[in-house]
Structure 1
């Protein structure tokens, strides 16, 4: 039995990922996001008569890089096709895509859900152009912004290997990481540069025949993907239990109502009337070209986390946090090159630095440099400052280009390790707290922490803890047997 009783969900995902090029797929218009509507358009992306597309070479390189990172088999010859449908945000009346001869086939992506590893097949990766964007409720009108029309995409189609909403969400997280670490896509769900459609069907446990699938369209968060799929599975089960049939549809998802809703009856492939794009020749990839991209692939996130765990001794949690964004992983690697204790470094970056880090797409804003972090930790190792003072020093250098050692000197933060100076302070603390001294000597040795705290307060945390403890044990022990 599955989590859904006698029914088993069958889920496949279609991910549309915008490629990080400066210009569009078939023209020289900019792909920048957030600019005034309809300012990045030309006769090609507006679909004006006589305008001819020219394929963006950088888009091809990024699409090949993504396909190789996903373990796909590159097709030496792929063909662009016209996908015909009519919608206001598609000015040509067709979308340039790939159909029966796509760029790549047969990849894999390994995921892990609640400790259980799963291998999800990648059915295909193909190139296409994005549509524009319909905007509703602008006054009493619906309008269209064609800035996005023609932006280069890859569509990554999984095999129907997923069996739960949680698995689908984890697949998307891992896929997004691969695309971000390879510099193919910025992973921005809110801006729509990484979008997901889910194909969901159900069947009785043990059956092999696929049920009627429903497409859930444009879900923009991992949580909503999991929720929407779960809601749709239960809707389909309820239909079947009532003796009704599941219709092939495209549906949206309302997070507020926790329900899917009908957008339209789902088109079949024949409705799109695919035929080869007559204005673009077949895309032919030379073996040397493919190998040059393969050899330049960066270390992928799964391999990086495994290496950190094996070679550096980092915990699974630490590798997950530090390896979840390419800029954060790069920061850690740069700091690691300057400071040898990877575990101590990882703990400090997680506890102090990451609180103040903001990420936007592939970039991140850090309050300190890797060199500043490495120097702070070296000062702790040398006994110049304490672990507590390291946090204060971090706060002092954050947002500046100051060298931590200079700040220590300017602020007099160096650890007080002189035993005679600490003894003088300790005697003053004991004189000010005679009742606690008597209680300690009577056997309440837990009061040692009280005296340590008083000395640390007076020295503003600069006293060496080991020296403080040794001096206090000696002084408080004097006369305890009298």
Structure 2
């Protein structure tokens, strides 16, 4: 189904109530894998970080990664979850080429964390997202489909599998159905994933890089006729890898479901693929229920029984509550409610915080991240934290502006150099010759040329209409490719025409 066949968003809301659920997979940045000693370094040569355990070879015996258990408990505590006194792993049986054992070691009916919640704010309204569970499991390998136009298996000439990722520790965080959000459902989904990602980063348990797949969201969506208590049939859109796409996927599925139901059809319970380029979902496979996976307790692993003393010790390591932290930062930075909401909504809170820590003012940090950088992210359909520009870079650009080495217009050219990987801001200014010209002789000559070329404007300034100086300043800036010191140019114009 393409966008032309969708039901209008407003009509969906008139006729149906949406319910959404989110399953977020967090890849932990432990040094070794979940059940073996293989390294977890991202970007290694294919199949260079494997062993008999993560390849599932006969006779290989797994052992639980204690650091991964610790990270799971800290995540659970930060999400206000109960921590199990006793839990165990299970085998989830299904065949995929990127599952070398033909089963995934996961947790089923006895997760390590359960019954939690996270409050998220959308346009001044607070929504409580209830957490059903957060459980430990291992990641799969990665398939690459070679040939064809889409990069998917359909139409590919052949496929390759890299098992380096197989066995990397994962925490899967599963919400209960989120109802009552109405037209804010897409924004609630985005806000939840954004706040969860910020929390994961603050806990320092994962890089939480959506562009590298270290945090991935599955979006569940169903519609029910207006006023009906029973939930509709859900679909699950897999592996959505940016905050913007989480919001778009919810909106698209609401409109797709609505069109089918309004036409008298029924929804197939299935997994679906999200297409970043076209902004649509397509069918994947019919969705399995829990019993289809034939879960049974993992016989090669002992149960996990974290002591209450250890749990309380880990509770003492938790970072500041995100809601409390936002209120504190807003007060410290002097942001209005709207400015803070926009910062959070753009997924830029931690980036702005780090930029301020690197020496920029709060308003300048916000200006660049929510202006130039957010625009670039939108134009390139990229997550704002995946542009290749760091908070230290942004602070360095602002320091050059504050020192009058460059102005805001030239700073945008510096950012172009940063996107292209041309070096530090100072190096880019030097290589591209972007420094502001403050040489009195050059400025004076350029002002004389502008006055001579615009006698009518010059006469207005002589008559006391100082505001007209803006046109001459613009002419000088154009002549000097935006590299003149605008303040000094104004002074020279007024001196010459007073």
Structure-2-length-normalised TM-score: 0.73
Q: Any idea what SS the aligned residue of 2:193 has?
A: helix
* Distance change >3 Å, CA 345–CA 331, structure 1 → 2: closer
Aligned length in residues:
458
State the partner residue of 1:7. 16
State the partner residue of 1:329. 353
* Distance change >3 Å, CA 414–CA 171, structure 1 → 2: same
* Residues in 2 aligned to 1:22 and 1:282: alpha-carbon distance in whole angstroms: 22
C-alpha displacement of 1:23:
1.5
Where does structure 2 lack aligned partners over 5 or more consecutive residues?
1-9, 148-155, 428-434
Corresponding position: 1:160 with 2:177: yes
* Residues in 2 aligned to 1:428 and 1:223: alpha-carbon distance in whole angstroms: 49
Query: Once the two structures are superposed, what CA deviation does each residue of 1:367-412 show, in whole Å capped at 9, x if it has no partner?
Result: 96798678668767xxxx89789969x999x956989xxxxxxx99
- In the alignment, is the contact (CA less than 8 A) between 1:187 and 1:361 conserved in 2? no
State the partner residue of 2:308. 287
C-alpha displacement of 1:445:
4.8
State the partner residue of 1:406. none
* Distance change >3 Å, CA 180–CA 345, structure 1 → 2: closer
* Distance change >3 Å, CA 453–CA 66, structure 1 → 2: same
State the partner residue of 2:66. 57
Match of 2:235 among 214, 229, 252: 214
State which drifts further: 55-64 or 350-359: 350-359
State the partner residue of 1:172. 193
- In the alignment, is the contact (CA less than 8 A) between 1:309 and 1:319 conserved in 2? no
C-alpha displacement of 1:121:
1.1
- In the alignment, is the contact (CA less than 8 A) between 1:89 and 1:133 conserved in 2? yes
Q: How does 1:238-249 map to 2 (within 5 A)?
A: 238-241=259-262, 243-249=264-270
RMSD: 4.7
Q: How does 1:74-473 map to 2 (within 5 A)?
A: 74-137=83-146, 140-162=157-179, 163=181, 164-241=185-262, 243-254=264-275, 256=278, 258-264=280-286, 266-299=287-320, 302-314=323-335, 315-316=339-340, 319-320=343-344, 324=348, 326=350, 328-335=352-359, 342-343=362-363, 347=367, 365-366=389-390, 439-442=460-463, 444-449=465-470, 460-461=484-485
Query: Once the two structures are superposed, what CA deviation does each residue of 1:318-362 show, in whole Å capped at 9, x if it has no partner?
Result: 7448972645522312426xxxx6446655787789999999979
- In the alignment, is the contact (CA less than 8 A) between 2:351 and 2:391 conserved in 1? no
State which drifts further: 56-65 or 223-232: 223-232
* Residues in 2 aligned to 1:433 and 1:161: alpha-carbon distance in whole angstroms: 64
Query: Once the two structures are superposed, what CA deviation does each residue of 1:109-155 show, in whole Å capped at 9, x if it has no partner?
Result: 23334443322111110000112233334774344322211111011
* Distance change >3 Å, CA 343–CA 244, structure 1 → 2: closer
- In the alignment, is the contact (CA less than 8 A) between 2:436 and 2:485 conserved in 1? no
- In the alignment, is the contact (CA less than 8 A) between 2:20 and 2:222 conserved in 1? yes
- In the alignment, is the contact (CA less than 8 A) between 2:348 and 2:369 conserved in 1? no
Where does structure 1 lack aligned partners over 5 or more consecutive residues?
404-410, 417-421, 477-482
* Distance change >3 Å, CA 68–CA 452, structure 1 → 2: same
C-alpha displacement of 1:442:
4.5
* Residues in 2 aligned to 1:34 and 1:328: alpha-carbon distance in whole angstroms: 28
- In the alignment, is the contact (CA less than 8 A) between 1:413 and 1:462 conserved in 2? no
Structure-1-length-normalised TM-score: 0.75
- In the alignment, is the contact (CA less than 8 A) between 2:211 and 2:386 conserved in 1? no
* Residues in 2 aligned to 1:251 and 1:444: alpha-carbon distance in whole angstroms: 64
Q: Any idea what SS the aligned residue of 1:77 has?
A: coil
* Distance change >3 Å, CA 351–CA 10, structure 1 → 2: closer
* Distance change >3 Å, CA 371–CA 50, structure 1 → 2: same
Larger radius of gyration: 1
C-alpha displacement of 1:161:
0.6
Q: Any idea what SS the aligned residue of 2:301 has?
A: coil
- In the alignment, is the contact (CA less than 8 A) between 1:301 and 1:323 conserved in 2? no
* Residues in 2 aligned to 1:311 and 1:349: alpha-carbon distance in whole angstroms: 18
State the partner residue of 1:480. none
- In the alignment, is the contact (CA less than 8 A) between 2:120 and 2:127 conserved in 1? yes
- In the alignment, is the contact (CA less than 8 A) between 2:272 and 2:281 conserved in 1? no
- In the alignment, is the contact (CA less than 8 A) between 1:328 and 1:364 conserved in 2? no
- In the alignment, is the contact (CA less than 8 A) between 2:438 and 2:485 conserved in 1? no
C-alpha displacement of 1:451:
7.2
State which drifts further: 351-360 or 118-127: 351-360
- In the alignment, is the contact (CA less than 8 A) between 2:237 and 2:281 conserved in 1? no
C-alpha displacement of 1:43:
0.9
Query: Once the two structures are superposed, what CA deviation does each residue of 1:423-481 show, in whole Å capped at 9, x if it has no partner?
Result: 9x999999999876655455645445567789999995286689769867xx83xxxxx
State which drifts further: 193-202 or 432-441: 432-441
- In the alignment, is the contact (CA less than 8 A) between 1:251 and 1:260 conserved in 2? yes
* Residues in 2 aligned to 1:154 and 1:402: alpha-carbon distance in whole angstroms: 41
State which drifts further: 149-158 or 327-336: 327-336
C-alpha displacement of 1:19:
0.9
Q: Any idea what SS the aligned residue of 2:178 has?
A: coil
- In the alignment, is the contact (CA less than 8 A) between 1:345 and 1:377 conserved in 2? no
